[in-house]
Structure 1
């Protein structure tokens, strides 16, 4: 997409730091400079206000990465940068490429996520109202003192047989190959609080109920660890 748009040497491309390094690497491979912006606390996608602050005379494009299946707010992002900056959506053409089995998987993930939405307590699902979420991951925030409490909570879930993972261990702007002296508060907060729970199509109803029981029993915090 970047090469088709003739983005290259001397250009800047705004990307999220709360993500995998894939997008930043693609920008660099095209010869452009990745510029990191902060995320919205509800969607975990690029925050339009932060993107607007990151725009310079060299900004050629913004890559609106949909985090964990949550779509980015394309209209707000385009309004933030104006018509002179390209807004690239990595999901362009994705729906046409999805077959019947893929749509069934998405429907099952949404059903699993709806069950967790209705029954989980003690953790906060990360989503914006009214969006068509694909739930590549079901991401929640674990309340408390950030990374220590989140990691302790994850260990306790695994001890109870519940699959879970930290979706982004290190923001891209803090990786050695992309290190920038930036303060992106929502990115840092998400990196310390967020946990991904299983909602893939292969997750059984029994596994979902075990997940709910374990999360609710823990209550989102482990007082002994927090102390």
Structure 2
């Protein structure tokens, strides 16, 4: 059994994506979608994300379509589904294959626990900006991502170091957008992608976390967030 990236490559080939074609992909996230495009001999075209979902922006997809475009890969980012309906309408208008992609979820029970943990954090976190989720959207919280207000990457990285010193595990979900990695190196500016790479931080929301551990996350974030706001 292959990896999800292998399955994506096969799906691209089976859907008729030929060498030299263009495939629209987001730059914010992992490189798997872009790598799969290269493996079938096509060219990944990187587009920006929507600020609220961190998933590919349908308006950016529409603007990137050319006569060479064969497909779009909307990536479901951190468990938040991409706007498949909006992107499928664009695909239908231009005759493009739309292939949703994202890592497989864990068990339904684990997803429900992560969703409950995320709801707890959403209600209590102050000093960081939580991700809005529309009522009709099923976010599975493979990662719980917030934004750290202030001076972009310097404040975000300092915030992360301070959280870790207080025993709260956290990590930067995307250090470098895919289009700026050495593998691809595209000279382009994707404003929301760059801003997310500078501001976003993933907080722990594992299904096995206890209420005490969640409270520690809230206490540490709220104390540090207050200091950042005063300093600003």
Is 2:175–2:197's contact at 8 Å kept on the other side of the alignment? yes
Task: Could you tell me which runs of 5 or more consecutive residues in structure 2 were left unpaired when the two chains were aligned.
Answer: 1-10
Is 1:142–1:220's contact at 8 Å kept on the other side of the alignment? no
Which residue number corresponds to residue 206 of structure 1? 212
- State the alpha-carbon separation in 2 of the partners of residues 91 and 194 from structure 1: 19
Q: How many residues align?
A: 220
Secondary structure of the residue that 1:61 maps to in structure 2?
strand
Which residue number corresponds to residue 90 of structure 1? 101
Which residue number corresponds to residue 18 of structure 2? 8
Which residue number corresponds to residue 19 of structure 1? 29
Is 2:77–2:102's contact at 8 Å kept on the other side of the alignment? no
- State the alpha-carbon separation in 2 of the partners of residues 78 and 39 from structure 1: 16
1:221 offset after TM fit, Å? 5.3
Matched, 1:57 2:63: no
**Deviation readout 1:95-137 (Å, 9 max, x if unpaired):** xxx7xx7010000000100100110011111233121001000
Secondary structure of the residue that 2:134 maps to in structure 1?
coil
- State the alpha-carbon separation in 2 of the partners of residues 202 and 129 from structure 1: 25
Which residue number corresponds to residue 118 of structure 2? 113
Cα distance, 1:104–1:27 mapped onto 2, change above 3 Å: same
1:83 offset after TM fit, Å? 4.7
Matched, 1:44 2:48: no
- State the alpha-carbon separation in 2 of the partners of residues 60 and 32 from structure 1: 9
Is 1:153–1:221's contact at 8 Å kept on the other side of the alignment? no
Q: TM-score, normalised by structure 2?
A: 0.90
Q: TM-score, normalised by structure 1?
A: 0.92
Cα distance, 1:91–1:177 mapped onto 2, change above 3 Å: closer
5 Å-filtered alignment, 1:36-185, equals 36-81=46-91, 82-90=93-101, 102-130=107-135, 131-185=137-191
1:203 offset after TM fit, Å? 1.6
Matched, 1:192 2:202: no
2:224 to 209, 218, 221: 218
